[in-house]
């Protein structure tokens, strides 16, 4: 009786069952809502998870023979089921369920060891991956040759080039660390690629607003330019395009926060108020635009055409820009003090906020730039980048778009400038 009250082995068996049930739930759901019939559902998956845990629990007494017999039996059962479906039932059959079942067995074994947290996390990831079948198939169906090539290039950028770079400063100023620079290139490329994937998955049917929101993750400047250009082609949709441009621009601010968090988290507390002020101002303007009556048009569901942001040449170009900005900021500080840093952020922010944000964050991280100065540089870069997108939209957009853009971006820039100035005076 005393052994039964010992929770140590029992909670592990319960977790193994729940892991199997979680993955089996998705498989059972698919069977209930489609014509597909697999040999394993929620109960079978739960039992297989428990079998894995029991095998691992008995391993010290029975050795690898028990594990080999159990695993071999599971493989044989899966093979027989697959063969029956293909040859006797004459069904087109994948092996997703069989592979998932084998994985549940292994996860059940992991629970008994010291890797239960990893097993639970993997179970959630596997369930999510299985449930995303339609989305993933839709994404692959919409992929072009360029998309596939760019995705492989990202693997080259992140998994091949990065480990080969030296993780030390190689310049006389002590600021250019190839590994750190390329790591930030991977970060920015990953953010852009994530937005592009979401656009591919959700598609254009969700409308201009969601396309603008997701396009802003990939490239807010490119999204602004594309929608502004289209507003001249279809002036009647200018109000829709203005909303999308505003949303794309608002995405920039969370992206800046994420980049700062990734490089130098203490900097966030100094930039968060001005950035929030600009976001709130932008959201208020967006709400006003959204509430205004608009002309209905089927073209409102057309998507902005964005190129895949993940190209090796783009990554290398950004890496070079970032390295140059890093050195320029350091030289400007040495020659002109804080004013030089602000001037550099003013100029570079007109074209790209990521480079100046990552550069000053990197310098502040290693004590080569005062944190307050770095924070103000990020704010200046964000304000100037917002202003530059407003200028782009005004320059190439329709007459109707210009009217909205002037006051919409004006409110955002004003909010950022006032809050940034207050922060500078208070600091």
For the cut 70, the answer to whether the pLDDT of residue 69 exceeds it is yes
Q: What are 348-399's pLDDT values in tens digits?
A: 777 678 888 888 998 898 888 888 889 889 988 888 888 888 888 888 888 8
Residues 6+ apart with CB under 8 A from 284: 411
Per-residue tokens: 280: 């709130």
Q: What are 225-262's pLDDT values in tens digits?
A: 777 877 887 787 788 888 888 888 898 899 899 989 98
pLDDT for residue 18: 94
Rounded-to-integer distance, Cα 424 and Cα 427, Å: 5
Instruction: DSSP letter for 46, please.
Output: H
Helix (H, G, I), strand (E, B) or coil at 171: coil
Rg (CA), the chain: 27
Rounded-to-integer distance, Cα 286 and Cα 276, Å: 15
**159 or 18, which is more confident?**
18
For the cut 50, the answer to whether the pLDDT of residue 419 exceeds it is yes
For the cut 70, the answer to whether the pLDDT of residue 39 exceeds it is no
Per-residue tokens: 82: 């697959």
For tokens 């976001």, the residue is 279
Rounded-to-integer distance, Cα 207 and Cα 240, Å: 9
For tokens 């190439």, the residue is 396
For the cut 70, the answer to whether the pLDDT of residue 194 exceeds it is no
Which of 16-25, 37-46, 89-98, 108-117 comes out lowest in average pLDDT? 89-98
Tell me if 386 sits within 8 A of 405, measured CB to CB.
no
For the cut 60, the answer to whether the pLDDT of residue 215 exceeds it is yes
**Percent of the chain having pLDDT more than 70?**
80
pLDDT for residue 2: 46
Q: For 185-211, what is the mean pLDDT?
A: 62
Q: How far is CA 379 from CA 354, 376, 386, 410, in A?
A: 12, 5, 11, 16
Q: H-type helices in 38-160, by residue range?
A: 42-62, 64-83, 96-112, 116-131, 133-142, 145-155
Instruction: DSSP letter for 367, please.
Output: T
pLDDT for residue 123: 92
pTM: 0.60
Q: What are 393-416's pLDDT values in tens digits?
A: 888 888 888 888 888 888 888 888
pLDDT for residue 305: 53
């Amino acid at each position: 009786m005393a052994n039964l009250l010992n929770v140590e082995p029992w909670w592990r068996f319960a977790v193994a069952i729940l892991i199997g049930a979680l993955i089996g739930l998705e498989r059972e759901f698919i069977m209930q809502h489609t014509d597909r019939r697999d040999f394993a559902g929620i109960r079978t998956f739960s039992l297989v998870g428990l079998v894995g845990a029991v095998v691992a629990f008995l391993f010290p007494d029975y050795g690898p023979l028990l594990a080999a017999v159990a695993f071999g039996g599971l493989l044989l059962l899966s093979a027989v089921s697959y063969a029956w479906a293909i040859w006797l039932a004459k069904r087109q059959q994948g092996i997703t369920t069989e592979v998932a079942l084998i994985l549940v067995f292994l996860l059940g074994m992991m629970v008994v060891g010291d890797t239960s947290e990893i097993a639970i996390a993997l179970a959630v990831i596997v369930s999510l991956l299985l449930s995303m079948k339609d989305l993933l198939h839709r994404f692959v169906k919409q992929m072009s040759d360029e998309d596939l090539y760019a995705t492989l290039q990202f693997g080259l950028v992140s998994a091949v080039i990065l480990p080969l770079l030296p993780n030390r400063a190689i310049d006389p100023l002590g600021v250019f660390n190839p590994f750190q620079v390329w790591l930030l290139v991977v970060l920015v490329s990953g953010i852009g690629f994530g937005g592009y994937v979401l656009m591919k998955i959700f598609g254009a049917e969700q409308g201009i607003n969601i396309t603008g929101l997701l396009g802003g993750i990939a490239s807010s400047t490119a999204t602004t330019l594309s929608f502004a250009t289209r507003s001249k082609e279809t002036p009647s949709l200018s109000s829709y395009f203005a909303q999308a441009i505003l949303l794309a621009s608002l995405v920039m601010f969370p992206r800046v926060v994420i980049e700062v968090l990734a490089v130098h988290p203490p900097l966030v507390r100094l930039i968060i108020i001005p950035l929030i002020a600009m976001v709130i101002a932008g959201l208020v303007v967006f709400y006003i635009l959204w509430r205004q009556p608009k002309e209905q048009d089927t073209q409102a569901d057309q998507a902005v055409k964005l190129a895949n942001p993940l190209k090796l040449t783009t990554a290398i170009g950004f890496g070079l820009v970032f390295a140059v900005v890093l050195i320029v900021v350091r030289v400007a500080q040495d020659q002109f003090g804080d004013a030089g840093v602000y001037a550099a952020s003013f100029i570079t922010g007109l074209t790209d906020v990521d480079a100046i944000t990552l550069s000053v964050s990197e310098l502040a991280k290693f004590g080569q730039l005062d944190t307050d100065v770095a924070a103000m540089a990020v704010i200046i870069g964000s304000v100037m980048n917002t202003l530059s997108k407003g200028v782009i939209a005004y320059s190439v957009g329709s007459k109707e778009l210009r009217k909205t853009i002037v006051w919409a971006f004006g409110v955002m820039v004003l909010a950022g400038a006032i809050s940034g100035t207050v922060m500078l005076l208070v600091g």
